[in-house]
Amino acid sequence: MALTITVANEKGGVGKTTTAVNLAAGLALRLADRPGPAGRVLLVDMDPQGHALLATAFGQPPVQPADSLASLLTETPPPSVQRLIQRSTHHDNLFYIPSHRASMVEAARVLPTLMANETRLARALSPVAHQFAYVIIDTPPNTGDLLVNALVAGDAVIIPVETSYLGVSGLRELERTIEQIRMLFRPELKILGYLPTLLEEQRGEAQEILVELEKRYRGYILPPIHRSSDLAYAHSSHVDVFTYRPPRQRRGEQIASSSRPTQEYAQLVDLVLQRTNSGGTYAA
Ligand code: ADP
Ligand code: MG
């Protein structure tokens, strides 16, 4: 049965999509030699704004509304989830359900009027849960039914936090949402960790913020991801960082075999594998 990890933060621009894409791709690389479902990863794009990235992130053309995630959320009964799943062109064992911007915006609008509006994603994904080792869900940058659906469908949450003063404020609202989801739907939903992102050590506040995060969430802080142009370029080239080749490398120049962002996301992948394989040694 797949373990589902939701990547969430109500703020935009904090590295959710970057983390979801690279975590999914990194897990697929690590699990590639395992046969069948134990080696397969599914990435679910719940972010209307992530459409441009995720619909083409793995080299596929944009999708039609009827082939996108929104139909799973709004149609009763939902269409076959199997039909919506696409295979990445970069990793044979990485699959995704694409988003479609206008349809997701419409889904967010109509969900409150539908029955079982908080549990629709969880229900829709359950028929394929046995086909994957991990399901990673990218979420929109706001509260509302899309985020609630993504959390209700999750076993664990990773919360990317921009390493800035503004980044650490406003986490309380997400924590309250998670608390309510535990009370109402999913008592077993865990916080796998807070992931400091966009870290720039030369900025004076960075160390202070890391110390503050450690104080607030002792033991829950994942190893930080530094700000790196490779991540931004990979994102705009619609590939994950493990697949991305920087221009200097394409020109044949020698560079370190593994760049810092590659190592940092690989470390996150290994930590996730460790904590989730060993059955419940989550931080919270
Ligand atoms: P969110 O999904 O939370 O809105 P994104 O993952 O889309 O955030 O990141 C916002 C922007 O910052 C994107 O342009 C992305 O390429 C860039 N970005 C994300 N993480 C990093 C990083 N560690 N270093 C440099 N740029 C990053
Ligand atoms: Mg995003």
Average pLDDT over residues 90-100: 91
Q: What's the CA-to-centroid distance between 15 and ligand 1, angstroms? A: 4
Question: Is residue 267 over pLDDT 80?
Answer: yes
Q: Which CATH architecture has domain 3-277?
A: 3-Layer(aba) Sandwich (3.40)
Q: What's the CA-to-centroid distance between 139 and ligand 2, angstroms? A: 7
- Nearest ligand, measured from the Cα of 46: 2
Question: What is the position in ligand 1's atom list of the atom closest to the CA of 225?
Answer: 23
Question: What is the position in ligand 1's atom list of the atom closest to the CA of 14?
Answer: 3
d(CA 207, CA 203): 8
Q: Whose CA is nearest to atom 20 of ligand 1?
A: 15
260-277 helix and 229-236 helix, angle to the nearest 10 degrees: 80
Q: In the numeric block, which tokens belong to residue 140?
A: 């929109």
DSSP 36: G
Question: What is the position in ligand 1's atom list of the atom closest to the CA of 18?
Answer: 6
Q: Ligand 1 pocket by C-beta < 6 Å: which residues?
A: 12-18, 141, 197-198, 225, 227-228, 231-232, 235
Q: What is the pLDDT of residue 281?
A: 42
Own/partner contacts of 73-82, CB < 8 Å, gap of 24 or more, are 73/107, 73/111, 73/120, 73/121, 73/124, 73/146, 73/149, 74/106, 74/107, 74/110, 74/111, 74/114, 74/120, 76/114, 76/115, 78/120, 78/123, 78/124, 81/124, 81/125, 81/127, 81/128, 82/127, 82/128
Question: Is residue 56 over pLDDT 70?
Answer: no
Question: Is residue 13 over pLDDT 90?
Answer: yes
Which of 10, 16, 18 for mutating ligand 1's site (highest number of atoms within 8 Å of CB)? Answer: 18
For 128-156, write each residue's pLDDT tens digit: 999 999 999 999 988 899 999 999 999 99
d(CA 50, CA 281): 31
For 215-257, write each residue's pLDDT tens digit: 999 989 999 999 999 999 988 888 899 998 877 666 665 555 5
Q: What's the CA-to-centroid distance between 231 and ligand 1, angstroms? A: 7
Q: Whose CA is nearest to atom 15 of ligand 1?
A: 232
Q: What is the pLDDT of residue 51?
A: 54
Which band of pLDDT confidence, cut at 50, 70 and 90, is reported for residue 19? very high
ipTM confidence: 0.99
Q: What is the pLDDT of residue 282?
A: 47
For 146-183, write each residue's pLDDT tens digit: 999 999 999 999 999 999 888 888 899 999 999 999 99
Could you tell me the pTM of the whole model? 0.94
